[in-house]
Amino acid sequence: MVYYVYVIKNKYKNGNLYFGYTSDLKRRISEHGVAPRDLIYYEAYQDKGDARNREAQLKKYKSAWGQLKKRIYNSVNKKEGVTNFVTARSARKLANPR
């Protein structure tokens, strides 16, 4: 089974970010309420404990979140490849498969 650590941005609540982990990313995103939200990042893990620990790390330690933001920024600016960076378009496809 695959477990996902994800970051969701709420468009209306001052751009609040939500961190979580789940084994069903599409379902979990849809459960985050009706406010417009974007899946901006996710990581996949084979071990539930690893996913849970990574989520806790991102929530608790500002340095971990800072490093992740730097990776995302660099990937957008093509300074380093982050293969699991999610664009808004690919997030919509993930959330609403045909």
pTM of the predicted model over 0.85: no
For residue 47, give the CATH number of its domain.
3.40.1440
Containing structural domain, residue 40: 3-95
pLDDT higher than threshold 80 for residue 94: no
pLDDT, position 50: 94
pLDDT, position 19: 87
pLDDT digits (tens, 9 = 90+) for 14-30: 777 788 999 999 888 88
When divided into structural domains, the chain yields a total of 1
Burial readout 33-71 (b: 16 or more C-beta within 10 A, e: otherwise): eeeebbbbbbbebeeeeebeebbebbeeeeeebeebeeb
Residue 78: pLDDT band (50, 70, 90) is low
